[in-house]
Amino acid sequence: MFTLLQHSETFSVTEAAERGLPSVVRSASAGTDFVIERHGKPQAVIVGIDRIAKLEELERDLQSAVLVLSRVASDNGNRTDVDEVIAGLGFDPAELRAEAAAEFEASQK
């Protein structure tokens, strides 16, 4: 059912309470994932912090992959020069470059 869970155990809320929270936390920290059910339906999952970190990393990777794929799918080949964008916003690209250069030079003193 839960393919992202590794080495999982499933038990009811009553069984979880009987087992005791310290025991469940210890097992989760050691790598066992727990699915807690109420009336035969999954209600919660208990996993160790290392597993959550891995799932969060996988989520970030998936988000990056979706972004790349959506960009590839929507790329029409048109490119806009950064100076065109700056000018379109009402700024003079040459003035901005000069201002940035002056600020950089001042920061190096």
Beta strand segments in the chain, E: 8-12, 33-38, 41-46
User: Over 70: is that where the pLDDT of 1 sits?
Assistant: no
C-alpha–C-alpha distance, residues 64 and 14, integer Å: 40
Please give the average per-residue pLDDT across 16-28, as a whole number: 92
**Entry pTM:** 0.55
Domain 8-49 has CATH 3.40.1620.10: yes
How many Å is the maximal CA-CA distance in the chain? 72
What are the residue ranges spanned by the domains of the chain?
A: 8-49, 79-109
Find the mean pLDDT for residues 86-95.
92
